Amino acid sequence: MASPTAYRKPLPTIDVWNKPFWDACREHRFIAQKDNRSGHVWFPPGPVCPTNRSSDWRWVDLSGRGTVWSWVVFHQKYYDGFESEMPYNVATVELDEGPRIMTNIVNTTNDKLRIGMRVGVTFRDVDDRIAIPLFQPIAEGGT
Amino acid sequence: MADWPLRDKICMVGIGTTAYGSFPETDSYGLGAEALGKAVADAGLTYDDIDGLIVNRIPSYDRFAEIVGLNPRFTLLTETPGRFSAISLMIAAQVLAAGEASTIALVYGNNGRSQRMMYGGGAGTWAPWGMTSPGAIHAMMYRRHMHLYGSTSEQLAHIAVAFRKHAGLNPNAVMRKPITIAEHQASRFICEPLHLFDYCLVNDGAVAWIMTTAERAKDLRRPPVYLSGFARQDTLVESSTPDPELWYPALQRVAAQVYDRAGIARDAVDGLMIYDNFTPTVVFSLEGMGFCPRGQGGEFVRDGTLELGRGRLPTNTSGGHHSESYMQGWALIAEAVRQLRRDECGERQIPDCDVVQYICATNCATSIIFRR
């Protein structure tokens, strides 16, 4: 069972399609669905590939790398669990495999965020069931 | 090519609006009933003439119909986001054109302010990262626009200042005190890069419209306002994240249809009503409809372009969602009708107003061209 924790941020809403994703996060693996014929990779998880509507897909490990598409900084409190980190950032990251996700960029400061910066996944363990994928700057050439 | 079959076939014949503010003594049913009563009287009709009903933001269509004593042939409750104001109008036009109703009342009622409605928070795909609220999506999109095109927050200030100026001419507007560019820039960040004055005003209030066919509209109390054209294009693929094209391709498709359908050129538009839940949508709308080249919307709105008595395109003459009240497009469309009647807007009347265009830049992009 989960140990007592001070974690107060919203937890993911787990459904039948995203459960494998969150199960993998717990093991610090970053995965997505990939269509077996077209090779299309998508997120959030769903029952069929949105480009060819096929259910012939599999879960694949992603590189965990991507590029910041845009970002914002929240100054208004919507969740008590984020209060201590305000103002906090949220970025849209375009993953190298194609899908775009939203996440927090950690291990940097908001004034260093730039569109086009390269980031890689890292995990924050919430309890023994949930780990949240976050992204941090990585040292490599930008694209 | 043959003319669009719906061109000028359907009219707005009655308009009713309540005061906007905080009214905890009533609710969306009470406000909606008040607006409907005003719209029916404005049209010179009776409740017995209404055989269609579309209800929006009011929780239950059947309870509302029960309250106002209607047994329509056609009744519908539409989804709550503001993009459904124009969508409700389009559905009503299609129902009227198909003969499935002869006179439709469309009623919007919102008591979000007294209910302390918060747009944001709660569960959602991105809640674990604190990503929530429509404003944050627009902030994310506008940051991208700034990056791609060099647009600025200060450009958005010109939009907020223009709409506040218009609100000063509208006795029913909630926020009427003029603001300056500097005050916009000094207002606190809500979701950076958007400031407080980039956000709309949540209030209680209601709006009702009565729509009927051009045939029936001829004999009614007020001069009809014609729906010359409308068009819609949705962007729902990958819509869990902000559209990488900032809705531009969808808006361009709408633009490619709406002027043709109306038989009215963009240059003939006398005034605009732009769905302004957040100031960046005004930039996206102007670019998408081709009033300026892509990426230049920020520059375009500077120096009073949208200001009554000053610029070429008076926009949101009521004060819009930023300064009149956030009535989710419903009050903007009421304002379009009032402008085209030419005798209800007082100081804020657009001179010689013949054509008004409504534009809504969202993941269901819409535009409507109204004429007198």
Domain for residue B100, yes or no? yes
Q: Do B144 and A115 lie within an 8 Å CB cutoff?
A: yes
- Residue A50 contacts B, CB cutoff 8 Å: yes
- Contact, B121 vs A78, CB < 8 A? yes
Domain for residue B155, yes or no? no
Place of tokens 């054509």: B355
Nearest to B120 among A42, A71, A78 (CB): A78
Mean pLDDT of the B16-45 span: 97
Number of domains into which chain B is organized? 1
Instruction: Note the pLDDT of residue B332.
Output: 98
Q: How far apart are CA A67 and CA B320, in angstroms?
A: 37
Instruction: Note the pLDDT of residue A141.
Output: 54
Domain for residue B4, yes or no? no
Q: In chain B, what residues touch A78 (CB-CB under 8 Å)?
A: 118, 120-121, 130, 132-133
Domain for residue B96, yes or no? yes
Share the mean pLDDT of chain A. Answer: 94
pLDDT in tens, B194-211: 999 999 989 999 999 999
Please give, rounded to a whole number of angstroms, the shortest distance from the CA of A28 to a CA of chain B.
16
Please give, rounded to a whole number of angstroms, the shortest distance from the CA of A25 to a CA of chain B.
13
Full domain range(s) for residue B231 = 10-116+200-371
> Does the active-site annotation cover B29?
no
Which residue of A lies nearest to B127 if distances are taken between CA atoms?
A10
Q: In chain B, what residues touch A99 (CB-CB under 8 Å)?
A: 238
Helix (H) or strand (E) holding A136: strand A131-137
Which residue of A lies nearest to B193 if distances are taken between CA atoms?
A72
pLDDT in tens, B286-341: 999 999 999 999 999 998 999 999 999 999 999 999 999 999 999 999 999 999 99
Instruction: Note the pLDDT of residue A140.
Output: 78
Which residue of B lies nearest to A131 if distances are taken between CA atoms?
B128
Instruction: Note the pLDDT of residue A142.
Output: 47
Q: Which of B247, B227, B257, B238 is nearest to B357 (CA)?
A: B227
- Contact, B55 vs B61, CB < 8 A? yes
Question: B54 falls in which pLDDT band (50, 70, 90)?
Answer: very high
CA–centroid distance for A34 within its chain: 16
Phi, psi at B143, each rounded to 5°: -60, -40
Domain for residue B106, yes or no? yes
What radius of gyration, in Å, describes the C-alpha atoms of chain B? Answer: 19
- Residue B120 contacts A, CB cutoff 8 Å: yes
Nearest to A101 among B141, B237, B241 (CB): B241
pLDDT in tens, B240-276: 999 999 999 999 999 999 999 999 999 999 999 999 9
Q: What's the farthest any 2 CA atoms get from each other in chain B?
A: 57
Domain for residue B320, yes or no? yes
Please give, rounded to a whole number of angstroms, the shortest distance from the CA of B160 to a CA of chain A.
20
Domain for residue B322, yes or no? yes
- Residue B116 contacts A, CB cutoff 8 Å: no
- Residue B125 contacts A, CB cutoff 8 Å: yes
- Is 50 exceeded by the pLDDT of residue A5? yes
Annotate A36-69 with b (16+ C-beta within 10 A) or e (fewer).
Answer: eeeebbbbbbeeebeeeeeeebeeeebebbbbbb
Instruction: Note the pLDDT of residue A2.
Output: 47
Q: How far apart are CA A81 and CA B57, in angstroms?
A: 30
Q: Which one-letter amino acid corresponds to residue A69?
A: W
- Is 80 exceeded by the pLDDT of residue B77? yes
pLDDT in tens, A71-99: 999 999 999 999 999 999 999 999 999 99
ipTM for this model: 0.95
Instruction: Note the pLDDT of residue B120.
Output: 83
- Residue A78 contacts B, CB cutoff 8 Å: yes
Domain for residue B182, yes or no? no
Question: B1 falls in which pLDDT band (50, 70, 90)?
Answer: low
Q: How far apart are CA B334 and CA B345, in angstroms?
A: 11
Q: Is B287 helix (H, G, I), strand (E, B) or coil?
A: helix
Query: Strands A57-61, A31-35: parallel, antiparallel or unpaired by DSSP?
Result: antiparallel
Q: Is B366 helix (H, G, I), strand (E, B) or coil?
A: strand
Q: Identify the active-site residue in B108, B142, B199, B275.
A: B275
- Contact, B41 vs B222, CB < 8 A? no
Percent pLDDT > 90 in chain B is 96
- Residue B124 contacts A, CB cutoff 8 Å: yes
Q: How far apart are CA A97 and CA A59, in angstroms?
A: 13
Respond yes or no on whether the N-terminal peptide bond of residue A44 is cis (omega within 30° of 0): yes
Percent pLDDT > 70 in chain B is 100
| CATH number (domain holding residue B287) | 3.40.47.10
CA distances from B276 to B47, B135, B295, B336, B355 (A): 33, 11, 18, 15, 20
